[in-house]
Structure 1
């Protein structure tokens, strides 16, 4: 399937979304809510790094895809930031955790290597591109999972939050190859490029899993409805996995060795048809398109 990757207008109304948007499932709710903690700063960082790398792109088709990717990621960042405002309105303050996330992306992974690391500007850029490619491996897997998660529908979650997750997940599947192709294009030659791709995953996987656990513990601990009556635990997490409300550890874990195969390409991940079909029917995208049409007629 050949088509142009481009950002979509979306509109979400959060007024009726409860804090525990999966009813009676605070652990599953907050495990997924960690996305809202990581993605606003993380996806802004994706865009910054790609802007640095744009002068290195010599392939016109890749350049078009990269610009479409950047537009989609910028939109994702904005929409997840709106959810943070909604959480604050429900007395769940994410500010202290967000400060740590901002430090990670803006300082530790900023334009200059931290701690005086002796890396050239080009090598530091290539390393950060390898991190983005590895992160996008997980976002593609998560995006495909949420599009297939029928048990999540049966749990009767808030429809607006579910649409946000599926709209975002579908776009992650749609552009799943772009960050990988960008890294391969800009990452140098042969063995060094492949070794750096492995290093990017070796750094990304444990850091991402650590941030997810830390973020979930933070949300559960500061949840004003729970008021300290629950702690995040592996047992509670696994209960949610067994109900189909979260992806399995096996599904997430298998994404790593697939990525590490030398012959690997992310076009093997997920169903592009399923993603495109959802994007054509997403309530948020249809609402925004309708509002745009009404504005044009007025």
Structure 2
């Protein structure tokens, strides 16, 4: 068994503060059968790019759950084991909600995604056969990218999601908030079970680029079904959004490549902190998650 025990049952890493508590929330989002695939009216290409990432989640996140669940059995520190458990419960909520949303899209004429999903299922099954240390590095690497992605999506929420479907917008930003909330876990589990800089650095690139690759495969299939992929104007818009994503998420990936990187050093966006605090104040257990007002000039938290 490996890990670092601390007095009083708490847990610290690298001399930093205690691990941030994780709240397991029910992803109570309902998606009507007529939920539009182009749920961002002013940016249909960007909507399909987000949808493409959504199709990856029911394959990626069960892989993360299996990997961290396996690693948790090797950790002596009860606080880190608890965080790994809560991480797995959060991720389970995420991929189940993505599956419901994806099924709505599949029912709207995007059956071609089934072939890509079959390839993803096979790829993640093969990845699960790799050594645990490699899989933990992949998990920590992907989670590093999501920190930059969250900051970009939340910081530009008014521009990106203006007049968008409030159900899908609220669902996507809920997921991003929780990605920030468990930003430490994959990194800390990796450090507890299989520490080492070079494997982690490779994992940052492996996890980030692999998920980007699969997301692109999915949104390409969606845009092909729309008849947009071969339109020069639409393709330019895809490149534009991809460049903005890389500029937004790229710095977090580069920071994760620095020796001694610790996610604790990355500050959470104020809107994310406000969302978490607002949810904690509101009695919502078993109730649908309140929706963000996408017509607001500020898009405040919905609590």
Q: TM-score, normalised by structure 1?
A: 0.80
Q: Does 1:218 align with 2:221?
A: yes
Kept after mapping to 2: 8 A contact 1:137/1:255? yes
The C-alpha deviation readout for 1:50-70, integer Å capped at 9, x for no partner, is 121122111111111111111
Q: How far, CA to CA, are the matches of 1:287 and 1:23 in structure 2?
A: 30
Match of 1:173 among 154, 165, 180: 180
In the TM superposition, residue 127 of structure 1 has moved relative to its aligned partner by: 0.8
Q: Does 1:91 align with 2:91?
A: no
Matches within 5 A, 1:14-25: 14-15=31-32, 17-25=35-43
Q: Does 1:105 align with 2:112?
A: no
Kept after mapping to 2: 8 A contact 1:11/1:287? no
Kept after mapping to 2: 8 A contact 1:22/1:158? yes
Kept after mapping to 2: 8 A contact 1:144/1:170? no
Residue 8 of structure 2 is matched in structure 1 by none
Cα gap change, 1:33/1:287 in structure 2, threshold over 3 Å: closer, same or farther? farther
In the TM superposition, residue 90 of structure 1 has moved relative to its aligned partner by: 1.5
The residue matched to 1:290 in structure 2 has which SS?
Answer: coil
Residue 63 of structure 2 is matched in structure 1 by 45
The residue matched to 2:260 in structure 1 has which SS?
Answer: coil
Task: Determine which structure has the larger helix proportion and give its number.
Answer: 1
Match of 2:198 among 191, 195, 200: 195
Kept after mapping to 2: 8 A contact 1:54/1:63? yes
Q: How far, CA to CA, are the matches of 2:252 and 2:229 in structure 1?
A: 34
Cα gap change, 1:213/1:231 in structure 2, threshold over 3 Å: closer, same or farther? farther
In the TM superposition, residue 203 of structure 1 has moved relative to its aligned partner by: 2.1
The residue matched to 1:99 in structure 2 has which SS?
Answer: helix
In the TM superposition, residue 88 of structure 1 has moved relative to its aligned partner by: 1.6
Cα gap change, 1:10/1:211 in structure 2, threshold over 3 Å: closer, same or farther? closer
In the TM superposition, residue 269 of structure 1 has moved relative to its aligned partner by: 3.1
Q: Does 1:64 align with 2:72?
A: no
Q: How far, CA to CA, are the matches of 2:228 and 2:285 in structure 1?
A: 37
Cα gap change, 1:286/1:9 in structure 2, threshold over 3 Å: closer, same or farther? farther
In the TM superposition, residue 205 of structure 1 has moved relative to its aligned partner by: 3.3
Q: Does 1:249 align with 2:252?
A: no
Unaligned runs of 5+ in 1: 114-123, 293-298
The residue matched to 1:56 in structure 2 has which SS?
Answer: coil
Residue 236 of structure 1 is matched in structure 2 by 237
Residue 141 of structure 2 is matched in structure 1 by 134
Number of equivalences: 267
The C-alpha deviation readout for 1:81-119, integer Å capped at 9, x for no partner, is 00111102222222111111111111x212x34xxxxxx
Residue 32 of structure 1 is matched in structure 2 by 50
Cα gap change, 1:89/1:287 in structure 2, threshold over 3 Å: closer, same or farther? farther
Q: How far, CA to CA, are the matches of 1:286 and 1:27 in structure 2?
A: 37
Residue 120 of structure 1 is matched in structure 2 by none
Unaligned runs of 5+ in 2: 1-17, 290-303
Give RMSD over aligned pairs.
Answer: 2.6
The C-alpha deviation readout for 1:149-173, integer Å capped at 9, x for no partner, is 221243x110000000110000000
